[in-house]
Amino acid sequence: MYDQNAACLTIDLNAIAANYRFLQQRAGRAVCAAAVKADGYGLGALHVAPALYRAGCRDFFVATLDEGLALREAVEDAGSIYILNGLAPGNVELMLRGRLTPVLNGPRDVEIWRGWNWATVRGGPPPAVLQLDTGMARLGFARQDWARLLASDFLECFPLSLVISHLGCADEPGAVMNARQLEAFRARRAEIGQRVSPDVRFSLAASSGTFLGDDYHFDLVRPGAALYGVNPTPLAPNPLAPVLRLQGKILQVHDVDAGTLVGYGATHKCAHPTRIATIGCGYADGLFRALSSQGAVHVGDHRAPIVGRVSMDLLSIDVGAVPSDLAQPGMTVDIIGPHQDVDMLARSAGTIGYELLTGLGPRFQRIYQGSAITAGAEARS
């Protein structure tokens, strides 16, 4: 049983699988992994990851230990589940128990990994991952810390499965920083080439980086947002399939006169007689307050602008130009759908598709369709 007034978020798992296969093709000889952190970018990692596994994905990236443990239960046969945010002193045992692979991002992570009592572990330490900072000043070994690591015996004593870095401007193909980071990553790879196993893989590209060309692919690419339909090439048409549809319910419709004030703060004044429909979702659901009097939704094929302030549970739209039989209480409007994808709505809010996706709230009635659904039936959660 669910609230008939609740907004509905439909997620197409077949589209996610198709996007994965497209990205694998784009990656050429490189392995295509999948980032399913932040609960599958807000779409439900425990639904998304099995669909990706069925599409051929075996390597997954998450941010935190808790995400990794939950993912291992959902996709028990996954080849590798990498924890991007590194280690904490009490996490090593849980990592080992969950067959999770830590990404070592700096000296502290290395010391925690090195200091574990490996004598109690049959076979010794499993392969870990090193992340290099090649220009973002975010996670990863900066140049000075990298030099100290090279001067130690860590590479000889502790096996690696993967070495990664992350591009800061991959969605800007002409950015000078891309070439600089590529050059730095190649240089670091050469520095350890004779000190690590030839089986160690290297990875630089995520979603947008996969579209920068073969030079950026190395052995593995790890797209995230692109899997979920966010455009990885903002200066060109989106090559990925749309994944989600977000529909809100009309709760009430008012016929209003010219001069009527709408919403908190009376920020919108109706210029002429019109009809105002109230939709049952708001910023508590991830529809940012920045959408106030910005952008629109669609009622059928008709654009209906958002007017006044978005509130916690509600937003208002002007349906004066919409046929009245399409805008009645109980009917649905498309917030994200055939006429407006997630990137378009995000631009209206002054943000990016990533933030909008990961902010989608738990109150939506979620319907999963596609490859992870038994016998083709819909799954609701």
pLDDT band at 3 (very low <50, low <70, confident <90, very high): confident
Question: Which residue among the candidates 2, 228, 264, 283 is catalytic per the annotation?
Answer: 264
Tell me the pLDDT tens digit for each residue of 128-153.
Answer: 999 999 999 999 999 999 999 999 99
Measure the CA–CA gap between 321 and 142, rounded to whole angstroms: 57
Of the candidates 84, 23, 103, 85, the one whose C-alpha atom is nearest the C-alpha of residue 57 is 23
Backbone angles phi, psi at 245, to 5 degrees: -135, 125
Sign of the four-CA dihedral 82, 84, 89, 94: negative
Domains (ranges, CATH) in the chain? 33-228 (3.20.20.10), 244-380 (2.40.37.10)
Question: Which residue among the candidates 37, 41, 249, 354 is catalytic per the annotation?
Answer: 37
- In the residue annotation, 269 being an active-site residue is answered as no
- In the residue annotation, 264 being an active-site residue is answered as yes
Tell me the pLDDT tens digit for each residue of 65-75.
Answer: 999 999 999 99
Backbone angles phi, psi at 109, to 5 degrees: -60, -40
Residue with structure tokens 């790890």? Answer: 222
Provide the Cα torsion 55, 60, 66, 70; round to 10°. 20
Strand partners of residue 367:
10, 380
Predicted structure pTM score: 0.94
